[in-house]
Structure 1
């Protein structure tokens, strides 16, 4: 079955579940009302279905390759990039002053998820540019903004981020790349970076790299790191690409998936770059980009899961095997366990998508109003959206393989590609373990106030839902109380105990949030399929939260009782 963009799901979520009317009700985003949002989603959906989705297999079967120092992309990717750029999808939320649309992040997030479902390998390219635009908007000089942002927004140029080095992964402060002032306002950047998504391509006129490096007076650790914009070609005075900069792609990684997306090893040998933000303030600038990307990566997980779900559903409704409750003529979709998997896939995707959009709404409200409570809400939801969205994408993709049975293990069906492609989303832009540690650490520095405010809203909504859905409302209310009690306990523990239970805590929080959004959907559409899906989720998936929170209360006790020698088989 060809990919179908779930535009109606987005319209329903925006209108009835995540409160998009609050965003369009602000002066900043007044023009992006529900009708405009629907028109944008419909147009983007067509582009994803007709142009991007046919490229999905091309990227896997004919990967990007390095040829004479230039990355050659998969068949059709150049045309796909052109369609994305000409549609204005790269600069959806970028400032209008530089050629962007100035639209809410909620709509950009929705479109990015649909692009991820259609062709995740290609979608990574505009996502990188969007993150760079965000960093430049908030931290670059006016001169750099005027030179680079219009080109990035139009898709004439593309962007990347360069953090990781062979010895410096999650510990970014261990990087060794150096930046030397050249005396003319530019810097000479030297060092090697790895895992650079879309570090080069053959469809953009220039590739602009945001590179973390250390100035001569930079102290050890993250406080001594600065951020630099280093283009593949140095711009001339008229803004066109000029001479080649002193950088190159050393090699491409051979990966488990995302074969259409070139992951580069980059070498900088005194390459000319411009400082972005303050000296030694590189991490603050890079976090702007990374926070944007973390929400985007959560959307990649949901999108890849959506593609896998649709693929599995099409197979299950065509494949006949054995006797089912509907007789010998039934398809495997009528077997109880297959129906369980399909419904769980759909229920989890709805929950993860709602969490992702709720996070985007909070970002938009923070942007539009400057209210600290919206900023806190966005910060709280970002690690949950990233980690749960990617975990769900992986879970759904592996269930998609299972639904296919033996044919899921055969590459020609395409089922395995979704799993191979989505698996890295739980790793890059901060592993999901780091997201969980961020949630229980940095995001709980307020004593759990932001989390408590969100739980207050969930319980209030559950109370209101008792009139129409008493059993489901009670289950959500009770689960929220259990989460609240654990949160209050958690903020009183030391960091080691918090970190030990961070992953199950985040998962439990996401389960409760997902149940809340499902209940909201049931209230908005009583008696229909959304209410039935909500009942499935709340009765069968929400109970997982109790076991997860039990793990949290164990803390670090016993975690190191086995020595490393004991762990050896």
Structure 2
């Protein structure tokens, strides 16, 4: 069941204001967003979700050089695009509806929870739209943006090559100037998500390539647009471009998503942005993708949790300590612990995804731009790593049946495993956090985060509720530990190996602290209610549990950070 009610709470009151109204200058409200989310939830549950298992078992297939998606995918995608869900998450400047980031985060969770493999297609299109809108010429924008925004065409991101994974400076695909405004692109790209398919009329590939005589390394890379079908005089798909799908990867999960090996054979392409500035243009798309993949982790985690919750509340097995005969396994203390552990993490991550969307919406305000950039690697790494952990816990709740494919729990675990890897591994995110976000500004932005947390604790501390008191006390101690660890990182400035050897534990520490902050934020809003609903009671229990079981990890991780690199 899509968590529409939780989003109504988060968008409308949890952060002390209607964040939708604030982001849109009053043009939309949280209530308006709620109507859209109700419709999106119905679409996700009725159209996408039934195809999740179909996609997993059938997978996409390469037949006679063409990719064929699983049964029902083509029709579902057309319905998705025709319903306006692609354009809903696109800025008005690019021709979309311009829903704020806090709302598009919710939409993304719904699509990914219902069918993560399917959701990758529009997610990549959104990144391509942003990159093209920000860097493309007016001619390219006019030719390609309208159909991308409508969903009639889809977009891809072509970075990786056999010898160039995380090191994009090793890219060897070449682009030769044809002298007529077009380029001839030659080379092979691998791991191209939705690189070929049959659900849309055209595919717009954004491709990193070198030009003749370009400098070596990152500075010699340019960004090009190469469509699957070149356009005719009327702007419609015409002749097939020389982009050949030479293989599909056989993967652990997300089977329905066609992960392609593409061969560019003098394919016609067009320069996007300035020559040799390709990485800057592609990073626009990559940042969009990193936030999207983070929220994909949230979606898979919640779907896994909901499946485990349903199973635990219907499965009878053994006498439950202190409870009547016939109580399902959800009453066992450790199963209850697992379920509350899962839901407390999911609620914290969901609140953080709304916060990140809102901060990005207000990035032009003083200091918010740095804060928005600071949050991206934490969101991506935390939510994706937790998707693996939560989906593993969901298998555990099912017991032996979780290891059996028919229950569906195993699919979520398999689908989640790629998330901490693609669009930048957890280590890459953590190195970015430490190197570009903490060391580069001397800890100013992370210091602002600590200050914001303390502001929230001061507000919560006004309550006489004992849970509030525990949250404040635990979180304040966690902030002190995180400040100490940050000073350690800053002290490693002259010894970068020490800093980067513990960048992942440092990121994990900040993520747990932010989770505590989110629960303090939620609890403050809940305790302001004259009467508490069942959802309010659940939220307070989750906040209390998170503080005792997850926030406590901050102190141990701070000790790990202090050790630096060991065993050199």
- Smaller-chain TM-score bracket: over 0.9
Aligned to 2:554: 545
Aligned to 1:114: 110
Query: In structure 2, what is the Cα distance between the partners aligned to 1:176 and 1:278?
Result: 19
Give the alignment partner of residue 348 of structure 2, picking from 333, 343, 351: 351
Deviation, 1:18, is 4.2
Q: Deviations over 1:469-505 (max 9, x none)?
A: 2221111111112112211221221321111111111
Give the alignment partner of residue 456 of structure 1, picking from 451, 459, 476: 451
Aligned to 1:90: 86
Query: In structure 2, what is the Cα distance between the partners aligned to 1:16 and 1:448?
Result: 30
Query: In structure 2, what is the Cα distance between the partners aligned to 1:373 and 1:97?
Result: 23
Give the alignment partner of residue 564 of structure 2, picking from 539, 555, 563: 555
Q: Deviations over 1:320-355 (max 9, x none)?
A: 001103133111111111111110010111111122
Residue 60 of structure 2 contacts residue 255 of structure 2 at CA under 8 Å; is this kept in 1? yes
Q: Deviations over 1:434-456 (max 9, x none)?
A: 10111011112111111111110
Q: Which runs of 5 or more structure 2 residues have no equivalent in the other structure?
A: none
Query: In structure 1, what is the Cα distance between the partners aligned to 2:379 and 2:94?
Result: 29
Query: In structure 2, what is the Cα distance between the partners aligned to 1:266 and 1:32?
Result: 42
1:396 aligns with 2:390: yes
Query: In structure 2, what is the Cα distance between the partners aligned to 1:167 and 1:484?
Result: 40
Aligned to 2:72: 76
Mapping of residues 136-535 of structure 1, within 5 Å: 136-325=132-321, 326-366=323-363, 370-444=364-438, 445-468=440-463, 469-493=468-492, 494-526=495-527, 528-535=537-544
1:123 aligns with 2:119: yes
Residues 74 and 18 (structure 1), Cα distance of their counterparts in 2 relative to 1, 3 Å cut = farther
Residues 184 and 447 (structure 1), Cα distance of their counterparts in 2 relative to 1, 3 Å cut = same
Q: Deviations over 1:255-275 (max 9, x none)?
A: 000001010000001100011
Q: Deviations over 1:67-91 (max 9, x none)?
A: 1111100111112211221222212
Deviation, 1:520, is 1.5
Residue 16 of structure 2 contacts residue 525 of structure 2 at CA under 8 Å; is this kept in 1? no
Query: In structure 1, what is the Cα distance between the partners aligned to 2:158 and 2:28?
Result: 34
Residue 152 of structure 1 contacts residue 159 of structure 1 at CA under 8 Å; is this kept in 2? yes
Deviation, 1:392, is 1.1
**Which secondary structure state, in structure 2, belongs to the residue aligned with residue 296 of structure 1?**
helix
Aligned to 1:49: 45
Deviation, 1:524, is 1.3
Query: In structure 2, what is the Cα distance between the partners aligned to 1:103 and 1:110?
Result: 11
Residue 16 of structure 1 contacts residue 520 of structure 1 at CA under 8 Å; is this kept in 2? no
Deviation, 1:408, is 0.6
Query: In structure 1, what is the Cα distance between the partners aligned to 2:503 and 2:481?
Result: 16
Q: Deviations over 1:257-315 (max 9, x none)?
A: 00010100000011000111110000000000000110000000000011101111111
Aligned to 1:38: 34
Residues 29 and 226 (structure 1), Cα distance of their counterparts in 2 relative to 1, 3 Å cut = farther
Aligned to 2:56: 60
Residues 20 and 376 (structure 1), Cα distance of their counterparts in 2 relative to 1, 3 Å cut = farther
**Which secondary structure state, in structure 1, belongs to the residue aligned with residue 342 of structure 2?**
helix
Residue 157 of structure 1 contacts residue 207 of structure 1 at CA under 8 Å; is this kept in 2? yes
Q: Deviations over 1:505-530 (max 9, x none)?
A: 11110111111111121121136221
Residues 190 and 29 (structure 1), Cα distance of their counterparts in 2 relative to 1, 3 Å cut = farther
**Which secondary structure state, in structure 2, belongs to the residue aligned with residue 103 of structure 1?**
coil
Residue 49 of structure 1 contacts residue 118 of structure 1 at CA under 8 Å; is this kept in 2? yes
Q: Which runs of 5 or more structure 1 residues have no equivalent in the other structure?
A: 561-569
Residue 92 of structure 1 contacts residue 101 of structure 1 at CA under 8 Å; is this kept in 2? yes
Normalised by the length of structure 1, the TM-score is 0.95
Query: In structure 1, what is the Cα distance between the partners aligned to 2:486 and 2:17?
Result: 28
Bigger shift: residues 329-338 or 319-328: 319-328
Normalised by the length of structure 2, the TM-score is 0.95
Query: In structure 1, what is the Cα distance between the partners aligned to 2:371 and 2:241?
Result: 42
Q: Deviations over 1:154-201 (max 9, x none)?
A: 111111000000111001111110011000111111100000000011
Residue 246 of structure 2 contacts residue 261 of structure 2 at CA under 8 Å; is this kept in 1? yes
Query: In structure 2, what is the Cα distance between the partners aligned to 1:93 and 1:242?
Result: 28
Deviation, 1:545, is 0.9
**Which secondary structure state, in structure 2, belongs to the residue aligned with residue 329 of structure 1?**
coil
Residue 208 of structure 2 contacts residue 221 of structure 2 at CA under 8 Å; is this kept in 1? yes
